[in-house]
Amino acid sequence: MYFDDYPMFSPEKTAPETDALVSDFLDLLGWRHDRTGPKGKPFSPSFDVLGMTMDLAGLRQAGSVTLKNKEGRVEKIASKVAQVQHTGNLNLAEAQEIHGLLNFATGYFAGRSLKYCCFKVFSLVDKGNSDVKQLRDWCEEVLVLLKSIQPRTIPLSINTRTVLVFTDGSWEGGVGGLGAVLLDESSGSRVVVQDKVQENLLKGIVGDQLICQIELLAMVLVRWQWKTELHNRRVLLFVDNNSARGGTVKGRSNSSSMDDLVKAFYSIEVHLPSFWWTQRVPSKSNPAVPADEPSRMAGSCNPLGSAFCARIPMSRSRGKLAHPGLQQ
């Protein structure tokens, strides 16, 4: 049996004694292990665990823990991506290597904004008819994101109560509807939002069935609408469309329009990450007011007594979302 990356925590003054005590205990069990020395590392405020570096230096003063990519990883990725950008060519071996490095850097705490770039890399492999401009644009995007990613600082006083989000989209009679219900377990606030999809957003999308794009758009708008309020919060996002959920879970979609929406969904993680989880649930099985009603402009009947927004506030001119916020 083999164990690896098993961290221990100890007050600074008792660290040497704890180190020796644990080694003696493992010796009694007959377990081979690396003692503190050439291989075994002593207790330290900053250490590597599970592919990341955990820094406890701010635990006493700021009351926070910092997680970041291991030293040199981001620089190594940037160097290889810059080389691909320079040559304008990406073969399968290079794509596999870059994907592997990106995959380590897109962990739950390390920088999920890179997930979209991570899973897009194989679609850019040179197969005799590659688009050099598209490849170089992707390289530029990765390099910008790598510069933007900052260590993840998590305060010990973080609000651990969950925000439940139910989203839904509708496509009936050539009209797209958006709806969402947000329930904050911490403050007890409840918000219902609804709106119609702008016609200009539907132009250029091929096919008569746009429900997958509309369902995903509802998820993206909620993430942007309350990005400040949901920062560092636990968010359980329910959606009743497998394609929309699958795109956010995998980090990409075979549909170009949904791929753009997935990219927008992950871009929020650069500066305002949250602890979110996406789950599939049929509208009829929603445990609270289903978002199915607001998406059909029928959300004014609200048995939960929620704060009701007739539409999702959005600046049409600049394309930026407003932030009315949940009650804190």
Q: Give residue-wise pLDDT tens across range 124-138.
A: 887 655 689 999 999
The Cα 245–Cα 160 span in angstroms is 24
Q: Give residue-wise pLDDT tens across range 256-286.
A: 888 889 999 998 988 899 999 999 887 676 5
- Give the pLDDT score at 197: 86
- Give the pLDDT score at 62: 87
Q: Following DSSP, what letter does each residue of 77-114 receive, concatenated?
A: HHHHHHHHHHHT---HHHHHHHHHHHHHHTSTTT-GGG
Which residue type occupies 297? M
Mean pLDDT calculated for residue range 71-88: 94
Mean pLDDT calculated for residue range 218-228: 90
What is the percentage of the chain residues whose pLDDT exceeds 70? 81
Asked whether the beta carbons of 135 and 124 are under 8 A apart, the reply is yes
- Give the pLDDT score at 293: 55
Mean pLDDT calculated for residue range 71-81: 94
Least confident residue range of 8-22, 214-228, 274-288, 300-314: 300-314
Q: Give residue-wise pLDDT tens across range 229-245.
A: 999 999 999 998 999 99
Assigned fold of 159-321: Nucleotidyltransferase; domain 5 (3.30.420)
**169 phi and psi angles, rounded to 5 deg:** -130, 155
Average pLDDT, the chain: 81
- Give the pLDDT score at 205: 66
A 10 A CB-CB count for 170 gives 25
Residue with the larger pLDDT of the pair 242 and 288: 242
Residue 203 banded pLDDT, cuts 50, 70, 90 = confident
Per-position b or e across 220-248, b if 16+ CB within 10 A of its CB: bbbbbbbbebbeebbbbbbbbbebbbbbb
Residue 145 clears pLDDT 50, i.e. is over it: yes
Asked whether the beta carbons of 176 and 119 are under 8 A apart, the reply is no
Q: Give residue-wise pLDDT tens across range 80-92.
A: 999 999 999 999 9
- Give the pLDDT score at 206: 53
Hey, what are 102's tokens? 């990106």
Residue 208 banded pLDDT, cuts 50, 70, 90 = low
Instruction: Kindly report, as residue ranges, where domains of CATH 3.30.420.10 are found in the chain.
Output: 159-321
Q: Give this prediction's pTM.
A: 0.77
